């Protein structure tokens, strides 16, 4: 029976296969295809708004906006120069990344970190139009959208516990709009002193990452997390929160004599800065402060003001009398809002274990956004390649007025060398305040990337900021600290331009330079 069934199966397959091919060939030859329909063609003026919005991004900028000129010739120049530019850029990447890699050697069981391959590929960035601005200054200002969807070959090798791990960056895309200013114009070649570069918007950065040959970004949720993290990392201050801590009522009794010594701590969520404090009011359960504070706001839709009332004690920790939270999204810009809130045991509002009345706190809050058009040409300016600050005073002092935020970013230093040791850190002195970066051990090219902020009631038009680089021993010694050089920076350029990004030669240093980025934003 088994033999018979096998024989019949083979026979059916042998007859069915040719028969099926014959029927298929018959339908292929004698069947008529459906007639192709002509696509619907409609003029632009008949399309609705959504259809036009979908179509316009694909049209070149020099077509949509006649102020932008075609720059095909410039893209051809960049294409010819790209092999040399790419080589120079990769050299800068290697020299910048090497000190960073050296910091992790010996940590987390990492033995070595090095580039296996580093190439930006043969596809250069493309400029999608060029627009020139007319100004009353001796300068040339241009704006251009830049897109780079390159084919770089960037592979990093990490040796961890004798294991060789490869990390590859793939599908890198960067879109942004750049503004270039050549200023001031001078009669000698190349006819300008500085190249000033700024980004008109946050750049769009997209990329993929492979580890050991596997696509890391294919993990569900990881790509979205990386993009959100990127946006948070580049988030800048958008305004100032003015807080007036007015008074408190009927606080808890913590001292034996029936009173407390209350004070208030203020802080914003999402910030690593230390909390601000009111003065201590002695022996009272109904303190009145009327003290004003200013805090930097980066995201008014998500940040929350935390108010904590403590009882000050000479010995031991200070007892917390209560806490309250005020979401900044409740505020209307420029309008002062008064709050009278019941103090809670902790931030867990649903906690029903403690119903004890802890008193109330009164506060007045005002959110003041930074002015969007407070900078010339509606954009921040970044200056590269200057070696010393300018003493020129801005010509429009009347327009540059009002309170604001001075942000100082110490990115790093180069060729700083001490006689006894090389563990550099930087110290910033301004208006009596001292700010210090982290210390980087055993390097002459430290990268700090530390940012400090100063709240000012008026622009620092005629002031200077002092920055000094020190080296400190990691162990106790008579020669524990030595200066590696210093610089005094005139802030008039920061106020007039809104933002500068410069490298300065350090005084009392042979070859040392320091990279400082500063931003002035008014309210």
CA distance 105 to 109: 8
Helix (H), strand (E) counts: the chain: 6, 26
Q: What is the residue extent of each domain of the chain?
A: 58-233, 239-346+357-369, 404-522
Q: The sheet that has 276-277: what strands, in order across it?
A: 276-277, 262-268, 304-311, 319-327
Tokens of 248: 């408190």
Q: What is the SS3 assignment for 494?
A: helix
**Number of alpha carbons in the 13 Å side-chain half-sphere of residue 405:** 23
CATH superfamily of 404-522: C2 domain (2.60.40.150)
pLDDT computed for residue 26 by the predictor: 66
Going residue by residue through the chain, which has 523 residues, state the pLDDT in tens, using 9 for 90 and above. Answer: 555 566 556 666 666 667 777 767 666 666 666 665 666 666 766 666 566 556 655 566 656 666 678 888 888 988 899 888 888 888 888 877 777 777 777 766 777 888 888 888 888 888 888 888 776 677 788 888 888 887 888 888 888 777 888 878 777 788 888 878 887 888 888 787 777 777 766 677 777 777 766 665 555 555 555 555 555 455 678 888 999 999 999 888 766 666 788 999 998 887 666 788 999 998 899 999 999 998 888 888 888 899 999 988 876 677 888 999 999 989 999 999 999 999 988 765 545 455 678 899 999 999 998 875 443 333 333 443 333 344 443 344 433 567 788 999 998 899 998 888 888 999 999 988 899 998 888 888 888 888 888 888 888 988 999 999 999 876 655 557 889 999 999 998 888 888 888 889 999 998 899 999 998 888 7
CA distance 367 to 300: 9
Q: What are phi and psi of 80, to 5 degrees?
A: -70, -35
CA distance 107 to 445: 20
CB 481 within 8 A of CB 378: no
Residue found under tokens 């083979």: 10
Who contacts 142 (Cβ-Cβ below 8 Å, separation ≥6)? 130, 131, 132, 133, 179, 180, 181
pLDDT computed for residue 10 by the predictor: 63
Residue found under tokens 């005139």: 490
pLDDT computed for residue 28 by the predictor: 64
pLDDT computed for residue 386 by the predictor: 37
**Number of alpha carbons in the 13 Å side-chain half-sphere of residue 332:** 4
Same fold, 239-346+357-369 and 404-522: yes
Who contacts 332 (Cβ-Cβ below 8 Å, separation ≥6)? 367
pTM, entire model: 0.50
pLDDT computed for residue 146 by the predictor: 85
Q: With the C-alpha atoms ordered 417, 422, 425, 431, is the resulting torsion angle positive or negative? A: negative
Kindly report the three-state secondary structure assignment for every residue of 294-314: EEEECCCCCCEEEEEEEECCC
Which of 355, 364, 359 shows the shortest CA–CA distance to 331? 364
Question: What is the fold, at CATH topology level, of the domain defined by 239-346+357-369?
Answer: Immunoglobulin-like (2.60.40)
pLDDT computed for residue 9 by the predictor: 63
Please provide the distance, in angstroms rounded to a whole number, between the alpha carbons at the two ends of the chain: 95
């Amino acid at each position: 029976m088994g033999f018979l069934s096998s024989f019949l199966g083979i026979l059916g397959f042998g007859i069915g296969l040719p028969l099926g091919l014959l029927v298929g060939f018959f339908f292929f030859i004698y069947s008529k295809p459906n007639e192709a329909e002509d696509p619907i063609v409609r003029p632009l003026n008949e399309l609705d708004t959504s259809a036009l919005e979908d179509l316009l991004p694909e049209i070149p900028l020099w077509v949509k906006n006649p102020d932008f000129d075609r720059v095909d010739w410039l893209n051809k120049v960049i294409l010819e120069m790209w092999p040399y530019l790419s080589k120079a850029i990769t050299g800068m990447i290697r020299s910048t990344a090497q000190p960073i890699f050296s910091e992790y050697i010996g940590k987390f069981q990492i033995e070595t970190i090095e580039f296996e391959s580093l190439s930006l590929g043969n596809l250069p960035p493309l400029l999608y139009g060029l627009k020139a601005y007319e100004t009353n200054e001796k300068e040339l200002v241009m704006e251009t959208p830049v897109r780079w969807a390159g084919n770089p070959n960037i592979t990093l090798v990490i040796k961890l516990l004798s294991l060789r791990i490869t990390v590859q960056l793939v599908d890198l895309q960067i879109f942004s709009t750049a503004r270039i200013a050549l200023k001031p114009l001078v009669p000698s070649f190349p006819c300008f002193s500085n190249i000033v570069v700024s980004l008109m918007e946050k750049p769009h950065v997209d990329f993929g990452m492979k580890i050991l040959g596997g696509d890391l970004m294919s993990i569900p949720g990881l790509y979205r997390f990386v993009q959100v993290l990127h946006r948070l990392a580049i988030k800048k201050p958008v305004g100032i929160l003015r807080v007036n801590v007015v008074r408190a009522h009927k606080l808890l009794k913590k001292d034996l004599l029936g009173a407390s010594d209350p004070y208030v701590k203020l802080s914003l969520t999402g910030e690593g800065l230390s909390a601000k404090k009111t003065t201590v009011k002695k022996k009272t359960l109904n303190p009145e402060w009327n003290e004003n504070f200013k805090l930097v706001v980066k995201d008014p839709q998500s940040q929350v003001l935390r108010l904590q009332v403590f009882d000050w004690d000479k010995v031991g920790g200070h007892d917390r009398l209560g806490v309250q939270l005020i979401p900044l999204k409740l505020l209307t810009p420029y309008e002062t809002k008064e709050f009278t809130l019941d103090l809670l045991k902790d931030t867990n509002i649903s906690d029903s274990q403690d119903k004890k009345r802890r008193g109330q706190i009164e506060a007045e809050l005002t959110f003041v956004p930074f002015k969007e058009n407070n900078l010339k040409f509606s954009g921040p300016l970044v200056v590269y390649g200057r070696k010393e600050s300018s003493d020129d005073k801005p010509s429009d002092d009347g327009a540059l007025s009002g309170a604001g935020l001075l942000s100082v970013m110490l990115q790093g230093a180069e060729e700083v060398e001490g006689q006894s040791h090389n563990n550099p850190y930087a110290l910033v002195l301004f208006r009596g305040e001292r700010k210090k970066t982290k210390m980087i051990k055993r390097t002459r090219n430290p990268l700090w990337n530390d940012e400090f902020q100063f709240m000012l009631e008026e622009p620092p038009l005629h002031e200077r900021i002092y920055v000094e680089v020190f080296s400190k021993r990691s162990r106790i010694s008579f020669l524990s600290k030595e200066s590696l050089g210093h610089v005094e920076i005139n802030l008039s350029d920061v106020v007039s331009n809104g933002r500068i990004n410069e490298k300065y030669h350090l005084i009392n240093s042979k070859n040392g330079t320091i990279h400082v980025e500063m931003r002035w934003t008014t309210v």
